[in-house]
Amino acid sequence: MKLANWYWLGSAVFAASGFLVVANNETEEIKDERAKESCPVRLESRGKCNEEGGECPFQVSLPPLTIQLPKQFKKKKEVQNLKEIVSHLKKSCQDCKLQADDNRDADRSDQLLPSTGVPGQADDNRVRELESEVNKLSSELKSAKGEINVLQGRLEKLNLVNMNNIENYVDNKVANLTFVVNSLDGKCSSKCPSQEQIQSPLVQHLIYKDCSDYYAIGKRSSEIYRVTPDPKNSSFDVFCDMETMGGGWTVLQTRLDGSINFNRTWQDYKAGFGNLRREFWLGNDKIHLLTKSTDMILRIDLEDFDGVKLYALYDQFYVANEFLKYRVHIGNYNGTAGDALHFSKHYNHNLKFFTTPDRDNDRYPSGNCGHYYSSGWWFDACLSANLNGKYYHQKYRGIRNGIFWGTWPGMSEGHPGGYRSSFKEAKMMIRPKHFKP
């Protein structure tokens, strides 16, 4: 008998005997209840079996059969369930993927990005693209920040430059007008009908910035004149020295007789005090305006009680505004009295702030030089020159708080009995650097 036939036969018997599958905790058994009474395997001749075909002359009787299945077999149902879940998930995943593809297609149509054809790779590429875009934008932002800073700096510079330019422009225009009007004034004959108008007080105020402008139109007497150094500010009176060294000098300060007290407050020194024909301080605001509008030189004249007269000339003199504490800029020295304003490294009045007994801007940390020396001045810590000191009519003793010029002959030497020299006269005056007498 062939093996295939045996197999077919066995299957048929299994089916006929109605196997029952019973599950317990440990094993699964397949039992045939009726098989308990059956005999061992028998092979019998059965003529009745399939008589028509004549192919089944024997019948096989099998003994009772018990098959032990491994305990993992009970998972069959769970496996089935898992299979179902997996197939469900597969379907969901496919739906999901379709949806994602749809979205990606939509994105692509918006941004016109090339497709790689592989979904995972496409995502990676997209992320890389976004990353590089973010990096690019970030670096662009950084450089934009830098540019903004640079532009801001330039804007601040331009603002300053523009303010200075505008001031200079206005000053130049006024200077040109002054020149034109002055030359017209010179050409005008007595018949000139507009002469009266040109000489009106308003025009005069716009024209004469300092005493040199009066000198330029032929004024030769040392007198009080009205000047307008800065058209934006009001005019004021000054005393003009039209005799000393070619004339044209605007006088800032004079000491003659001690009639005026120079131990004064910040406010007094700011506004000016005294008598323009005798002793006075012109005023720090006015000195600022005069020295701001034109490049000025400074001349100092001194005379002691022995009748010695000497002078000091500085080729630049400028006093800043009140906000900058009237800081003084003093140029190079020339003259006979000695360079007391730049006396030494430790006593130098150049670039010092103004100090008064009630306003300490000096470089002396332990006190106020203005208070100690009874005056307002551009103190260092404290002085090698002070033309605003107390007026002594003769030699004096004690604190050196008189009018002082450190380079004066014999000034710094000791005197018998500790006496100190003073000055009979002192004068400070300015004139434009390019003035031609």
Interface residue list for Ca ion (CB under 5 A): 360, 362, 364
Q: Which two tokens stand for residue 421?
A: 């020299």
Distance in Å, CB of 367 to Ca ion, minimum? 6
Rounded alpha-carbon distances, angstroms, from residue 248 to 69, 86, 91, 272, 405: 132, 110, 107, 21, 25
Is-contact 248 431, C-beta < 8 A? yes
Residue 274 or 370 having the CB closest to Ca ion: 370
Residue 352 or 424 having the CB closest to Ca ion: 352
Residue 213 or 362 having the CB closest to Ca ion: 362
For the chain, the 3-state helix, strand and coil shares in percent, each to the nearest 5, are: 40, 20, 40
Q: What angle do CA 92, 97, 101 make, to 5 degrees?
A: 150
Distance in Å, CB of 383 to Ca ion, minimum? 12
Residue 333 or 364 having the CB closest to Ca ion: 364
Distance in Å, CB of 325 to Ca ion, minimum? 13
Is-contact 271 378, C-beta < 8 A? no
Distance in Å, CB of 352 to Ca ion, minimum? 11
Q: Which two tokens stand for residue 387?
A: 């033309």
Residue 353 or 392 having the CB closest to Ca ion: 353
Query: Pick from 321, 334, 323, 303: which is nearest to 405 by CA?
Result: 303
Is-contact 299 311, C-beta < 8 A? yes
Query: Pick from 202, 219, 199: which is nearest to 210 by CA?
Result: 219
In a 3-state reduction of DSSP, which class is residue 238? strand
Distance in Å, CB of 339 to Ca ion, minimum? 24
Is-contact 282 296, C-beta < 8 A? no
Cross-strand pairs, 420: 396
Residue 428 is classified by DSSP as E
Distance in Å, CB of 357 to Ca ion, minimum? 11
Residue 229 or 370 having the CB closest to Ca ion: 370
Distance in Å, CB of 281 to Ca ion, minimum? 21
Residue 367 or 437 having the CB closest to Ca ion: 367
